[in-house]
Amino acid sequence: MYLTRVRLNTARAGARKLLASPQAMHAAVKGAFVDEPPSAPEGSRVLWRIDRPNRAEAYCWIVSPAQPDLTHVVEQAGWPTTQAWETRDYRPFLAKLAPGQVWAFRLTANPVHSIRRKDGEPTKVTAHVTPAHQAGWLFQRQEVAGFRIREKPPEQRLADDDVHELIVHDRRSRRFGKIEQDGSRNRVPLVAVTFDGRLEVTDPDALRRALVAGLGRAKAYGCGLMTLAKAD
């Protein structure tokens, strides 16, 4: 497994195109591999995420079973003569995960649920709209994914619902065209939000699977990739 980061030059038209279209970014990431990367035993796959610290900066993070070649991305949307991309072997980090460790995390995800509007109708996948429901979506998955979101000390809580070390922000809503397997065209809605917070490892094997296989839906379109960093 490999963890890769490439910075995009937001002053270039090629970068703006990638940042504006999950489909274009998906194609660019897919083009970084000679062949379709094989799935590892953990069920890993290619995941990607865009981080925007500010309007002038944009980074694409990629987790993949094989090393990517992002020459085409750098040439079209980066700094071809001065900056390339960084790729590290992810396995040593994954191997050192242990119960009780505390990490800061970031996750961009597509929090959805299935609802039935009328009796007798099939269920429909619908995006969660409010930050509270979006956070609830993540809380429902934390145990299976091998972690527990940390709670704040009582003296640091600003309200009754301000319990966990979690921020939900950067909501993005898009609709884009998609060609289905039968050849028909469909307009696909995508709501993505970013979660920042602190977690405690409860099941290292489960967390490793979540880090390499992703959380939730829309993984091809920049959702599902969680990264960890030192909690301090």
Chain centroid offset of residue 195 CA: 9
Between 125 and 213, name the one with better pLDDT. 213
Domain with CATH 3.30.70.1200 in the chain: 2-93
Q: What is the DSSP letter of 154?
A: G
CA–CA distance, 155 with 157 (Å, rounded to integer): 6
In this structure, are residues 228 and 121 in contact, taking their beta carbons and an 8 Å threshold?
no
CA–CA distance, 163 with 141 (Å, rounded to integer): 18
Confidence of residue 117 (pLDDT cuts 50, 70, 90): low
**Whether the predicted pLDDT of 37 surpasses 60:** no
pLDDT tens for 45-83 read: 899 999 999 989 999 999 999 999 999 999 999 999 999
Pull the structure tokens for residue 98: 């242990």
CA–CA distance, 42 with 101 (Å, rounded to integer): 21
Closest CA to 8 of 68, 36, 50: 50
What CATH class does 2-93 carry? Answer: alpha beta
Which element (helix H / strand E) includes 140? helix 131-142
Residue with tokens 């396995």, as numbered in its chain: 91
**Average pLDDT score over residue span 116-144:** 82
| Torsion angle defined by CA atoms of residues 199, 201, 202 and 208, in that order, rounded to the nearest 10 degrees | 120
pLDDT at 172: 84
**Average pLDDT score over residue span 111-135:** 76
CATH of domain 97-230: 3.30.70.1210
pLDDT tens for 160-197 read: 788 999 999 988 887 766 666 676 677 777 889 999 99
Domain with CATH 3.30.70.1210 in the chain: 97-230
Q: What's the first-to-final CA gap in the chain, in angstroms?
A: 26
Residues constituting the chain = 232
Percent of the chain at pLDDT exceeding 90? 70
